[in-house]
Structure 1
């Protein structure tokens, strides 16, 4: 993987984390972008087992664009995702981490035609696998594939 691609992968992970953080703590978009820029990128993070987990080499403008874009277009993004959920499923029933991943992925599909559909879906499915071992990656794959079919013709 090229360093530019790796930097986008890190940016996507950070965007999902930032969107999750904004939802659970009600922190604003600019504050969360500033926090990631000042304290999380290009620094080692202490992992659960005390290991240093660097969140280095992020494409920070890409990260900020994802976070701002999801926030600015959330109603439209949510409608695109809801359309692809199983009947009687509500977006607020979905785990907050999965919701953040779906929103970032849907935003990218809807607003970044320069990024191939397969890349967007694969990146967010892999990201989901880093958080979940159950059915969630398949759920994200199906939902984002549906959104892609709706918005990219």
Structure 2
């Protein structure tokens, strides 16, 4: 007799404060994209009501607020650089506009860290955003797409990555 397998959520590593900040930044980027809220308003809302707070009975993990702000503002300030980088890493039949808002937010945050935060090792950035993708999508195709795109970006930006360079 086999034991039931764990759900994908049960297989995740617990997030540290930076990991929680990354997740919150992705959620905030999603909110900004969908609701059209601004950077200052969204940052203030998350810091006052979400980071480390209880919402509808769920306790949000304590997050590194400075890291959260850095990712959020970094993505917004560099979006005209980040979006073309993502586009170059997608296949021609998958334009950035075809990706849902959550996936765009994950990729934008990951590309920001890879391009502007050389103090964070590539494997950390890639694995953190794959974990975030798994939290939203489970074991579907999206985490694999996040892995592929961030790996391509890492190879181009930092000369690091696991995949082979396209010839």
TM over 0.5: yes
Matching residue within 85, 98, 110 for 2:90: 85
Could you tell me the TM-score, scaled by structure 2's length?
A: 0.84
Gaps of 5+ in 1: 47-51
Count how many residue pairs are aligned between Structure 1 and Structure 2. Answer: 145
**Equivalent in the alignment of 1:100:** 105
Could you tell me the TM-score, scaled by structure 1's length?
A: 0.91
The whole-number CA distance in structure 1 between the counterparts of 2:60 and 2:26 is 13
Q: Does residue 123 of structure 1 match 2:128?
A: yes
The whole-number CA distance in structure 2 between the counterparts of 1:30 and 1:110 is 23
Superposition deviation, residue 88 in structure 1: 2.8
Superposition deviation, residue 16 in structure 1: 0.2
**Equivalent in the alignment of 1:26:** 36
The whole-number CA distance in structure 1 between the counterparts of 2:115 and 2:148 is 16
Superposition deviation, residue 89 in structure 1: 1.8
RMSD: 1.3
Runs of at least 4 residues off by over 6 Å: none
Q: Does residue 141 of structure 1 match 2:147?
A: yes
Bigger radius of gyration: 2
Paired residue secondary structure (2:89): coil
The whole-number CA distance in structure 2 between the counterparts of 1:89 and 1:136 is 13
Q: Does residue 150 of structure 1 match 2:156?
A: yes
Gaps of 5+ in 2: 1-13, 160-167
The whole-number CA distance in structure 2 between the counterparts of 1:58 and 1:109 is 20
Matching residue within 76, 81, 89 for 2:81: 76
Superposition deviation, residue 99 in structure 1: 0.4
**Equivalent in the alignment of 1:40:** 50
Superposition deviation, residue 110 in structure 1: 0.3
